[in-house]
Amino acid sequence: MLDGNLDTRAGRLNDRYRHHAAIEVLRRAVTDPDLGQVALVSSFGAESVVLLHMVSRVAPGLPVLFIDTQMLFPETLAYQQEVAERLSLTNVQVITASEAEIAAHDPDGTLHKSNPDACCDFRKTVPLERVLSGYDAWITGRKRFQNGQRAALEFFEPEPPSRLRVNPLAHWRPEDVQDYMVENRLPRHPLVAKGYPSIGCAPCTSPVKPGEDPRSGRWRGQEKSECGIHFIGGRMVRGKVSA
């Protein structure tokens, strides 16, 4: 029986794993009774392959939840297939909005132009929440160096009302991510070489110029920088927040 107090559980887990390396946090988290049922949520984006590779080493059968918004770049869909096969990930689950939801909310595929928050909500947040309702915790690739609300990120954090988030890479630096990819000869997302350091849906992602923030190509020119699947204080992110 899991302790119902999320703050208590998160604190206990952070104390337990405070001095562990990322892969050890991941290795132990997938079987720790304080976490319960765990899944990894992955966009198969620019840096996703790091955590996916770690999962392939410690728990290749772990559920990997991939949200296909049906507006992704073709390169992302091909990369997802390539990485899953190369790393022998055996439990990748593709999540999508239903045909009925699309017909009701965005029949002509233009909602992202008039209301990008609503588009993200029904194409990403709602389908993911539906699946995550069956889990006690989920693993993310969030890191402290991404600043803003993530600057004080811990390995384990509460997500009210009933889940925990696990952030194995919380303390990594940008160079740690790149070094891990090089050392393990991991395949890069093909759009990274074309100037896309942060990759989302095709209509809402643009290349980034040298010197720009890596996430500046997401919803460029709009008061928005998060899709909404990450939460602050138990609430879905809406509007402009730090990435």
Contact present, 68 and 77 (Cβ < 8 Å): yes
Indicate if the pLDDT at residue 151 is higher than 90. Answer: no
204 within some domain: yes
Indicate if the pLDDT at residue 157 is higher than 80. Answer: yes
Domains identified in the chain, total number: 1
153 against 105, higher pLDDT: 105
217 within some domain: yes
Q: Is 119 labelled a binding residue? A: yes
**pLDDT tens string 11-21:** 999 999 989 99
225 against 163, higher pLDDT: 163
- CA dihedral (152, 215, 20, 159) positive or negative: positive
The single-letter code of the amino acid at 160 is P
30 within some domain: yes
Q: Is 222 labelled a binding residue? A: no
| 64-67/92-95 β-pairing | parallel
Q: Which of 38, 227, 237, 243 is catalytic?
A: 227
For 178, the domain range is 6-236
Here the CATH number for the domain that contains residue 145 is 3.40.50.620
SS3 232: strand
Q: How many other C-beta atoms can be found within 10 angstroms of the C-beta atom of residue 226?
A: 23
In terms of phi and psi (left: phi > 0; alpha: psi -120 to 50; beta: otherwise), the region of 109 is left
Contact present, 110 and 213 (Cβ < 8 Å): no
Please state the rounded mean pLDDT for residues 220-237.
56
Nearest-angstrom CA–CA distance, 196 and 240: 20
167 given a catalytic annotation = no
Please state the rounded mean pLDDT for residues 230-236.
43
Task: Report the share of the chain in percent with pLDDT over 70.
Answer: 87
pTM: 0.88
Q: Is 120 labelled a binding residue? A: yes
Alpha helices, DSSP H only, in 59-193?
74-86, 99-105, 111-114, 116-120, 126-132, 174-183
pLDDT at 147: 54
- Mean pLDDT, the chain, rounded, equals 87
